[in-house]
Amino acid sequence: MKKIIGLLLISLLLCACSDPKQEVHKYSFFAFGTIIELTISGVEKSLADQAAGELETDFERMHKDWHAWNPGPLVTINEHLARGEAAPVSEDLMPLLIKAKQLALISGGTFNPAIGGLLELWGYHGDDPPTRPPEKETIEDYLKHIPDLADVEISDGLVRTDNSSVQFDLGGFAKGYGIDRAIDHLKALGIENAIVNAGGDLKVIGQRYDRPWRIGIRNPRKAGVMASLDVNDGESVFTSGDYERYFIYEGKRYHHILDPRTGYPASDFISVTIITEDAALADAAATAVFVAGIKDWQLVADRMGLNKVMVVEKNGVIHMTPEMKPRMQMVVETINVQDR
Ligand code: ADP
Ligand code: MG
């Protein structure tokens, strides 16, 4: 009897392996300053390999063209704007800038992709994190001409503004925009089940052959996850945290998500997670809600049309919208902020 069961098991396993629908293909490459992990299920390896190659090339190009400080198309636009000139925009960048403006407007300015100058002042326009904050006066001077996307006109292949402090930095949503594009590319190749994951920010289509795609949300203060969840077909999950890029100066943590209202790192939250379909929106919204803080986070989420939001306060308390709650299987109930 035992032998028969053993044989049955072996043949079942062989079946699973030889059925391409049940294979999971994994790839990884580097782009947008992080490792992009691509997982594809339900197709032959040759098609998955082809898709991975094409996506890697796409991501390389997006990373280069949309870079905020390495010479390239976006830097050229910023140079024009700094001189007070209208800047020609390529067909590739046009929809990105239009979307950036639209997201900035609905966020009420908490997501402000025109604060490249402020990020540069803070020393975030370089590969290494800065070591000390700028002088208070430097920030105050900057805030006198704080860029507002409402004053930026994007049309007829040109971007124009009277405010020469406008400097695009798309770091708050380019990854999301790129992931939307990657998923569209996979669909165009006939791939229906995949996950594109850029360092924990991700979008999925379909499912793993046997069950939904399952992911974890990183604990903002120690290795491991704070929650896990099943992600449905077409959903994106994006998290912004104060642990991605930061430095400690005189015992205080300074991170890379800046509040355009104060010029300083947003101070209420240590992590914000958003679930919604549009990855560009999810990415921008994670940044916007992070900046909005404890008083305004629900207001900003509403304005941006989001109902699945989780925020972690700097004291470790976790809050969730009613629609988010049933989605999260919590591993911890609060974050121990003493951990680092
Ligand atoms: P990450 O990509 O590191 O997960 P975010 O999506 O929150 O985190 O993006 C942070 C990046 O967004 C910063 O490095 C900077 O380029 C940009 N940024 C910082 N503050 C803002 C802001 N208030 N609005 C728009 N972009 C911002
Ligand atoms: Mg973001």
Q: How confident is the model at residue 234 (pLDDT cuts 50, 70, 90)?
A: very high
Helix, strand, or coil (residue 224): coil
For residue 116, the model assigns a pLDDT of: 98
Q: What is the position in ligand 1's atom list of the atom closest to the CA of 173?
A: 6
Closest listed ligand to the CA of 74: 1
Averaged pLDDT for residues 136-162: 97
The domain locations on the chain are: 73-172
Averaged pLDDT for residues 52-63: 97
Averaged pLDDT for residues 120-128: 93
Q: What is the position in ligand 1's atom list of the atom closest to the CA of 201?
A: 4
For residue 90, the model assigns a pLDDT of: 96
Q: How confident is the model at residue 338 (pLDDT cuts 50, 70, 90)?
A: confident
Task: Answer yes or no: is pLDDT of 47 > 50.
Answer: yes
Surrounding ion ligand 2 within 5 Å at CB are 172, 240, 283, 286-287
Q: Are strands 269-276 and 236-241 parallel, antiparallel or unpaired?
A: antiparallel
For residue 21, the model assigns a pLDDT of: 73
Burial 210-249 (b: 16+ CB within 10 A, else e): eeebebebbbbbeeebbbebebeeebbbbbbbbebbbbee
Closest listed ligand to the CA of 282: 2
47 CA from centroid of ligand 2 (Å): 31
For residue 82, the model assigns a pLDDT of: 97
Site to substitute for ligand 1 among 244, 257, 296, most atoms within 8 A of C-beta:
257
318 CA from centroid of ligand 2 (Å): 19
pLDDT of 17-44, one tens digit each? 567 778 899 999 999 989 999 999 999 9
CATH class, domain 73-172, is mainly alpha
By alpha-carbon position, which residue is closest to atom 4 of ligand 1? 240
Averaged pLDDT for residues 238-245: 94
Q: How confident is the model at residue 339 (pLDDT cuts 50, 70, 90)?
A: low
For residue 1, the model assigns a pLDDT of: 52
> Is residue 167 within 8 Å of 152, Cβ to Cβ?
no
Averaged pLDDT for residues 125-154: 96
DSSP for 157-187?
A: TEEEES-TT-B--GGGTHHHHHHHHHHHHHH
Q: What is the average pLDDT score of the chain? A: 94
Residue 103: phi, psi to the nearest 5?
Answer: -70, -40
Q: How confident is the model at residue 4 (pLDDT cuts 50, 70, 90)?
A: low
Q: What is the position in ligand 1's atom list of the atom closest to the CA of 258?
A: 20
Q: What is the position in ligand 1's atom list of the atom closest to the CA of 287?
A: 7
For residue 17, the model assigns a pLDDT of: 55
Task: Answer yes or no: is pLDDT of 15 > 50.
Answer: no
Residue 205: phi, psi to the nearest 5?
Answer: -130, 150
For residue 18, the model assigns a pLDDT of: 64
Task: Answer yes or no: is pLDDT of 244 > 70.
Answer: yes
Task: Answer yes or no: is pLDDT of 71 > 50.
Answer: yes
Please give the model's pTM, rounded to 2 decimal places.
0.94
pLDDT above 90: percentage of residues in the chain: 90
Site to substitute for ligand 1 among 236, 256, 262, 267, most atoms within 8 A of C-beta:
256
